[in-house]
Chain A
């Protein structure tokens, strides 16, 4: 009798498992099979034998990858750009969040917030067209309207590497700053208002309030966001580095990152091996960094940890 009841109880869960099946299968195909497929980095891949049937070649692909200067350049670019993005977007984001929260008019507040969020929704391909409208050699606004005013001669933007760190940092900030701003606005909204009231009674200036109340209260969210971005520091925004410089070969020294390298090597003849090697490196180091940064987050504030 008891056993029967238990079976009945189990029975009721069966539809639930069936319900989960499509999603679980999708994750298996889309995520787990490629995870196992990462061994392709140690193989000489051919289509006929597939990933798992192709012969092993040990570290040949990695040797090939390291035989050129590319490995150094793509890792350097990926890291340096990410560091620059983290610094610039967080500083601008915190600054904007603080002043948006201080705006008295609720309507203006909403308009500012909406405007800052807008670029976040636009595809990077369209962003590359907008950048092109500014920088195009023949028709761009800078070469035609702006540079003549200050008496400078036209610049071949898509052929001159030296400008691109600046261009990419500005583009990335324009597109992405709204995200951080919004998160910091939520952080500021959570600060106990009595702190400010007390400070005002003590005659603290606006600046003193920002330095002594707002910023310290934001530190936890800053640290969390920072660690999250560090966990992803070996990943770059493929679109930003591939689309916006329009895949221009003369800019590779400053625009080639791990992600663009993996793609370009993959589609080039005989490049699959080094592409897989670079991808393997990215996956493994990325995994280690995510685990580490999460462990640190958990130490600081277990509520914010992912696991």
Chain B
């Protein structure tokens, strides 16, 4: 195909615009990274910058040598993300599969029960009171896992719709004729064939757990229970959140590189996302698109 001159110009212009947009999306993250590897005294004189005069890994060295707080927080975040995501997938699929069966008595009522939670919410105050006074989750690891993120009506609806429309009815029928019960069909057919939607839902659940800082803000004030996001949240105003622990640990002589270390820890918090993103990008994209269609 031969492009007319006008079309060529159009292609050049839109590509220039999109390159600028791409830079605008990525450069702030680059600034975060550059700030984290800038030498402390350069930072104090010149501030955060894309082109620091002097580079240094002191912030990362400090994290490696002293801050057990950071490691512990990282561990807590990983633990919470893994348990939360698995729990979410299990609960969601176990509720979605029966709801996808048209012959299930009471299916409509239960669907409405699930769906109504999307329309109306009691808000922060009653749920805060309930979780703290009735369940006593304050300052326990459950505070990160239980409130809000374990299951959402939206995901149940996505998975239910997938089970009932994307898996051919014939497969269910022939399994039934072969004498398989519902539990067996769930385990041997629905779950394996539902993998694409389960990966998508799991990805978003995992992301929500990894990025969550609100449960930590509401329910956690013990320094040894901080997750990485909660630690970051404390640290931005109060670098002591990091120091308090480390002086006890080692009495180390190493000075905290106060200005760069914030950025180093923030960068460390997004590394897993940056690593998995290229591989799982298509699941993120498809998740948003089905969400929009069904939304």
Contacts and interface: CB of A to CB of B under 8 A. Distances in A.
Interface residues of A, number: 98
Interface in A125-183: 125-126, 128-130, 132-134, 136, 138-141, 143-145, 174, 178-179, 182-183
Interface in A34-61: 34-38, 40-41, 45, 47, 50-51
A126 B266 contact: yes
Contact of B123 (A19, A119, A282, A307): A282
Contacts of B123: 34, 38, 262, 279-280, 282-283
B191 interface: no
Given A116-B21, A144-B49, A27 B153 contact: yes
B98 A129 contact: no
Nearest to B48: A133
B156 interface: yes
Contacts of A228: 295
Contacts of A23: 91-92, 94-95, 151, 156
A12 interface: yes
Contacts of A239: 213-214
B29 A30 contact: no
B121 to A, nearest CB: 6
A13 B194 CA distance: 21
A182 B269 CA distance: 25
A236 interface: no
Interface string B1-35: 00000110011001101100110111011011001
A123 B25 contact: no
Interface residues of B, number: 95
Contacts of B251: none
Given A121-B284, A246-B236, A246-B237, A16 B182 contact: yes
B278 interface: yes
B242 interface: no
Interface stretch (A62-70, A76-84, A284-292): A284-292
Interface in B127-158: 127-130, 133-134, 146-148, 150-151, 153, 156
A240 interface: no
A216 interface: no
A2 B161 CA distance: 34
Given A123-B229, A129-B262, A19 B18 contact: no
Contacts of B18: 96, 99-100, 103, 108, 112
10 contacts: A24-B113, A104-B11, A113-B285, A123-B210, A125-B211, A130-B29, A141-B49, A263-B124, A279-B124, A286-B121
Q: Which 4 A-B pairs have the closest CB atoms?
A: A37-B126, A144-B47, A34-B122, A23-B95
Interface of A: 10, 12-13, 15-17, 19-20, 22-24, 26-27, 29-38, 40-41, 45, 47, 50-51, 96, 99-100, 102-104, 108, 111-119, 121-126, 128-130, 132-134, 136, 138-141, 143-145, 174, 178-179, 182-183, 186, 205-206, 221, 225, 228, 238-239, 243, 246-247, 259, 262-263, 266, 272, 275-276, 279-280, 282-283, 286-287, 290-291, 306-307
